[in-house]
Chain A
Amino acid sequence: MTHPDAHRTIETVWRLESARIIAALTRLVRDVGLAEDLAHDALIAALSEWPETGVPANPGGWLMLTAKHRAIDRLRRDDRFKDKIKDIGHEYADQQRVAVFTTDAEFEAVLEDDPLSDDLLRLIFIACHPVLPTPARVALTLRLLGGLTTEEIARAFLVPEPTVAQRIVRAKKTLAEKKIPFEVPPPAERADRLASVLEVVYLVFNEGYSATSGDDWMRPELCREALRLGRMLAELAPDEPEVHGLAALMELQASRLRARVDADGHPIPLPEQNRGRWDQLLIRRGFAALLRARQLGRPAGPYVLQAAIAACHAQPGPTDWVAIATLYESLAFIAPSPIVQLNRAVAIGQSSGPEAALRLVDELADRPELRGYHLLPTVRGDLLARLGRDAEARAEFAKAAEMTANARERDVLLRRAG
């Protein structure tokens, strides 16, 4: 008897389990590329067997066990591995642990002795390693942690599939060549390395939340993927306030996904959104994550501050713009950037009036980082319109429309310019 649904089940199980399988194998072979190949061998075995035998009772366990067996076969045949063990022995002083595997039982013991969650955390740190260029980190993270195919990543980021494939191949090669250790970084490096991880996750979220190009203004499935990675990270590294800060920020922003577009797919600005469409469950989860960050009792970092701002917007009743302006001031202090200043100007525009805000925006006008940033003329246009300087406002909206690469957003701006 054949099982026609087996293929879809295999794909799904792969997506759910591949990160853990690759993480467990990477600890063993210390090579993320080889680990992925071995896990793929198990996937191929499933594809050939399950349609005949049916889906096993514990499909994830089947894949993990098969991957382990493939690893044993492969490693025993591979002379390079013997050298690798020597290297590892010298480098990590854990030759005992990774000693030559003579029986399956010993091999299993090595795989079982660390909790899987540590493996996953190490895999995230490898995928987001600073030796890799940012687009490679993003692609590798989605591939190894999210279980997305090269094709899905390419579609999500609107880049050709071969480009993504090449990024991943090069990234794995770089990690192998530079002998990047499979470890949670030592304390001295940890803050920097964690920042790189958070940056990748937030980048994926933002690409989904405000698509920088293309016909859709949002790609919610990318937001959900990032949210999932962020939630996972919050459980894997629970003592890091910024991890909870990022999780909180994404939950709170995602709570507005449904309210951000009208029926025709046009963006709706925050003050005009129907709050009834905000997802209260995600708002509560966001508040809970923010609370976890604060309970750690350390000074607020950029993600915690941004989450606090998002939380102000999510509160019922009139928005506390004074509090938001203050939070932006703190953010500008620890993470100075003209974009933060621009956001601060928007908050001041609400708390102290358009005139004060316009002065701040005009100070930013010559900043080279904001050249070509369509939100600068958009904000300026808003403030001018509120001051009754309509002709100037329309000119700013027209300028902004020219700058944005997003079709939906351009429509809205052109309407305001007209």
Chain B
Amino acid sequence: MRFLMTTNGGGPAPDEKLFTEMALFIEELTSQGVLLAAGGLDPKGTHVSTKGGVMTLTDGPYAEAKETIVSFALVEVRSKEEVIEISRRFWAMIGEGEGDFRQVFE
């Protein structure tokens, strides 16, 4: 089963140490065959809304940084408990912040 893990903005800014730890973690998950894709997102995004067939684009940034998704990882695991364990390790590195994981329907 696949899960999309996301993190929101607003946490502490990453330092050199976190980058190194995260790179190792990503390498480990990749070599375990768990991590399928990951990436960071521009916090400035553009909001799209449609009403009555009319599309409106609104430039970010958003009022609250923590409302914005700033990174994602698509993982393939054997159970929900596995994604919880991966999250536990991930957030132990970050220290503080917010995010979600949601199952991807196949």
Contact = CB atoms under 8 A, between A and B. Distances in A.
A228 B34 contact: yes
**Looking at A16, A227, A235, which has the most chain B CB atoms within 10 Å of its CB?**
A16
Interface of A is mostly: helix
B85 A224 contact: no
A232 B32 contact: yes
A57 B92 contact: yes
Contacts of B89: 58, 60
B75 to A, nearest CB: 11
A90 interface: no
Given A57-B92, A58-B92, A258-B106, A228 B33 contact: yes
Interface residues of A, number: 27
Contacts of A235: 30-31
B85 A16 contact: yes
Nearest to A238: B31
Interface in A190-242: 221, 224-225, 227-232, 234-236
A276 to B, nearest CB: 13
Contacts of A221: 78
Interface range on chain B (Cβ under 8 Å from partner): 10 to 19
A15 B82 contact: yes
B31 A12 contact: no
Contacts of B92: 57-58
Interface in B74-100: 74, 76, 78-79, 81-82, 84-85, 88-89, 92
B37 interface: yes
A77 interface: no
B106 A232 contact: no
Interface in B35-59: 36-37
24 contacts: A9-B81, A9-B84, A9-B85, A12-B85, A15-B82, A16-B32, A16-B85, A58-B92, A60-B89, A117-B31, A221-B78, A224-B76, A228-B76, A229-B33, A231-B30, A231-B31, A232-B32, A234-B31, A235-B30, A235-B31, A236-B31, A281-B36, A281-B37, A281-B74
